[in-house]
Amino acid sequence: MSEKKQDPQVSMAASFIAMRGVRIFLNAGKGATEKRTSPTRSRRTKAAVPGNKLQLNVMEILLKNTRFAKNELEALFLMYRRLVAAAQAAAPATVVGQPVPKIEGIDQNTFRDVMHNTFDLVTEDVVLDRVWLTWDRGANGGEGALKFEAWARGLSVILRGNDEERRAHCFAVYDLNGDGYITRDEMFALLKNSLLKQPGDEDPDEGVRDLVELVLKKMDVDKDGKVSVEDYRAAVEQEPLLLEAFGQCLPSKRHSATFLKNLTIKP
């Protein structure tokens, strides 16, 4: 979506919010243990935090498969470790005799917090859930927690991806059933919470259906009633604003730049 020009005071405020998000990310472990059940009813074990140092073979792979430099990957790994440790510490305590659940990676709640607080991805739940589900997990696949390699690859796409990578990311988010098309029903599901409904509307979804038809007219290049990958690419190349037509799934340039600028700052 296009960004509106702001006056200097608004821009400074927005930058402050973005930098605050980065600090939240960098200090993700603070305050994570405040909410607990009674210690007499629970047993906790030491959290299994990822190793202190990024393995050389993983570093070499990510240097080839991402757009991050060595020092940036090291900083990302430090953040990753803190996020995992915070999630493990915040896991609900269990009844005595039951094992404490292990979170081996970035879980969905942590992912949501980072997307909201660090990258200001304020979007509909259905879109954010799809961002989570489509994040490339490599050989592991599935919906489980994100290991560091998957985390770094995903951040590389949303922060420094080229046009094709960004289009592929957005299309995968919008293709709810993964069949290679964005249909009317999928558009409706993505857009139905984005419009304000007026009191007394006989058919509150009518405006959404009208919007779907309008967007479909713009993006359905071959006029077959649905948007294919090729349709989407052609439409976005002609009108870049259509990249996130069905909901925000990429950070703004401002928030991306702020995060990357502070990436190598050690706490």
pLDDT tens per residue across span 141-155: 556 889 999 999 999
- Over residues 200-209, the pLDDT tens digits come to 566 678 888 9
183: burial class by Cβ within 10 Å (0-12, 13-18, 19+)?
middle
Give the H/E segment covering residue 181.
strand 181-182
Predicted confidence (pLDDT) at residue 185 exceeds the cutoff of 50: yes
How sure is the predictor about 107, in pLDDT bands with cuts at 50, 70 and 90? very high
Return the higher-pLDDT residue of 183 and 44: 183
User: What is the helix (H) or strand (E) element at residue 131, kind and residue range?
Assistant: helix 125-134
pLDDT at 38 over 50: no
Cα–Cα distance for residue pair 66/62, rounded to 1 Å? 5
Q: pLDDT tens, 40-93?
A: 344 444 444 556 788 999 999 999 999 999 999 999 999 999 999 998 888 776
pLDDT at 4 > cutoff 80: no
C-beta of residue 111 within 8 angstroms of C-beta of residue 132: yes
Residue 34 has pLDDT above 50, yes or no: no
Query: Rounded to a whole number, what is the distance in angstroms from the first to the last CA of the chain?
Result: 33
Angle of helix 108-117 relative to helix 125-134, nearest 10 degrees, comes to 120
Predicted local confidence at residue 89, as pLDDT:
84
Q: Which fold has domain 13-31+48-261?
A: Recoverin; domain 1 (1.10.238)
Residue range 225-256, pLDDT digits in tens: 999 999 999 999 999 999 999 999 999 999 99
